Amino acid sequence: MPDSTEAETRDRLARAAYTLSAADARLRGRVSRDQGALSFPHARALRALAEEGPLSISRLAGHTETTGAAVTQLVNGLVKSGDVTRERVEDDRRTVLVRITASGLRRHEERERKLAAAFDETLEHFRPAQLTAAIEVMAAITAFYDKL
């Protein structure tokens, strides 16, 4: 059984995780209202396509950590905004490849620059060991959420 200090710290961590989840929900809300905004799933899709090249829906779903159905909706939005194209594979007409466009690549690169600057500013006072510990804790919380 954890002592009171440990229990209090774990409670604070649980509350921080909840607050992070709520912040993500607020971000999703802003994205749905602002046509120029880019959600984390959309950004992950553009990043995967920029780094890996054209991907099938199922492979893109793996890169975005979501389902095929959800990534299909995500791709629909990215096609509509001109950030990606869909192409049928000649050898297998059932397979669709998603390819990033030049404007999608520019959008991805601009977001990556802004995100890197924001992370640098937000995290500049943390030492590498603290950030490494945070990564481990976030991975554990992710696994915990996946079990729920």
Strands 55-56, 84-88: pairing is: unpaired
Q: Give residue-wise pLDDT tens across range 73-114.
A: 999 999 999 999 999 888 887 889 999 999 999 999 999 999
Question: How are the residues of the chain apportioned to helix, strand and coil, as percentages rounded to the nearest 5?
Answer: 70, 10, 20
> Residue ranges per domain, the chain?
1-37, 38-147
Third-level CATH fold of 38-147? Arc Repressor Mutant, subunit A (1.10.10)
**What gap in Å lies between CA 10 and CA 86, rounded to an integer?**
46
The DSSP line for 66-78 is S-HHHHHHHHHHH
Q: What is the mean pLDDT of residues 14-39?
A: 81
Q: What is the mean pLDDT of residues 39-56?
A: 94
Range of weakest confidence among 36-40, 41-45, 120-124: 36-40
- The pTM of this model reads 0.77
